[in-house]
Structure 1
Amino acid sequence: MTSPTSEPTIDPVADLTNLLDQLAGTPDGPAPTQDPESPKPVFRDVDQFVTSYLALVLERRVASGPTPGITWCARWWAHPEALSRLYALWRAWEALRVNDPHTGMSIWWRDHLDPHLAVLTGDGGPFARCGPDRHRDPEPLHVEPAPPEVLAQLPDA
């Protein structure tokens, strides 16, 4: 026997899959083919970028109990905002290493990593309720759908 609920069922795997499809720009179809002459990415995906590069080059103290430091979550991929930001960092890293081989990495650190890392690990960021040995599932913002009459006022309606 099932009981009616007012809350929709949340499927985090499907939600993350949809998010990754949106980030890749492929909501309705296969990924675009890469130009055979363009440089291949160094990292095959965001997971390899985070585990084989970012986790190794960042030297930050991770907060633990009374020890101050950044707040990090080992299950970074379970936080939609973190996944989106880290995906963007990976893509920017890949683009800047090719398009600006002289100063691209400096630009990446200054303009991309530093601001994203501050948000990810900050007091109000997606990892704020996590710790080195503790993951807390994300809590999406509560929203109410916009009324049609409000949407009708927008220029792209």
Structure 2
Amino acid sequence: MVNLSATDDEWQTDDETGYENPYDYDPNAADENDPTVDGDDPSLDLDEDTDAITEDEDDELEDVEADEEDGELAEIEPMYPTYEAWVEGWFTQVIRRKMGPGGGESGLAWDARWWLYPEVAGRLKSLWFGWEEARASDKASAMSNWWIHQLDPHLRVIFDSDSGPMSHAKRDGSFSGWPALPYEPMPPSLRDEYPADS
């Protein structure tokens, strides 16, 4: 415990750093307590060590350049050549849900003619890109992240039997999607207010 009741005469006032004037401190001065400063350690040769580090860095850069030339860093070949092939060969075979008899009536909505629905096609194409990227990733958790952060949110919209893109799908093919959203061109005055490059 520190005795704070000491008088001025009892306080230790010696400079523990060993320097009489702390303002006269030279950070580049040799440390007399360091055994390697006097050159006693023959294993330390600063010039050779520096050259070795530089050579290692050069070797690493050459390896990266060689990999690029060999195509190792090039784009990885996808397992499925198109997103249509992925939907047919993977999505419709792996994703299995209880579907209702008709859209909006019960269960989930799905139309075998999924390509008639631009939103569904766009979402499935995005899922295919993400799936191929996760499959080729070196990270063990990449595919799990794809399921949780990409697939599940898209499925909630695609299969939504109340308001999803296929929510009124019928087995007889009498429904081919909701009409496109109404659109009117933006007035020129607003176009100037919201430029495309902002």
Query: Match of 2:168?
Result: 129
Query: Match of 1:80?
Result: 118
Q: CA deviation at 1:54?
A: 0.7
* 1:35 to 1:78, Cα distance in 2 relative to 1, 3 A: farther
* 1:60 to 1:42, Cα distance in 2 relative to 1, 3 A: same
* Paired letter, 1:70: L
Partners of 1:111 and 1:134 lie apart in 2 by 32
* Runs of at least 5 residues in structure 2 that lack an aligned partner in the other structure: 1-70
Structure 1 vs Structure 2: percent identity of aligned residues? 34
Query: Match of 2:190?
Result: 150
* Paired letter, 2:94: V
SS at match of 1:152: helix
* Paired letter, 1:112: Q
Compute the TM-score of the two structures, normalised by the length of structure 2.
0.57
Picking from 77, 91, 95, the partner of 1:58 is 95
* Runs of at least 5 residues in structure 1 that lack an aligned partner in the other structure: 1-33
- What is the RMSD computed on CA atoms of the aligned residues? 2.4
Please list, as runs of the form range in 1=range in 2, the aligned pairs for 1:3-152 lying within 5 A after superposition. Answer: 37-64=74-101, 68-122=106-160, 123-138=162-177, 139-152=179-192
Query: Number of residue pairs matched?
Result: 124
* 1:64 to 1:55, Cα distance in 2 relative to 1, 3 A: same
Deviations 1:36-55 (A, max 9, x none): 94321011111111111011
* Paired letter, 2:130: A
Partners of 1:135 and 1:62 lie apart in 2 by 18
Partners of 2:108 and 2:140 lie apart in 1 by 30
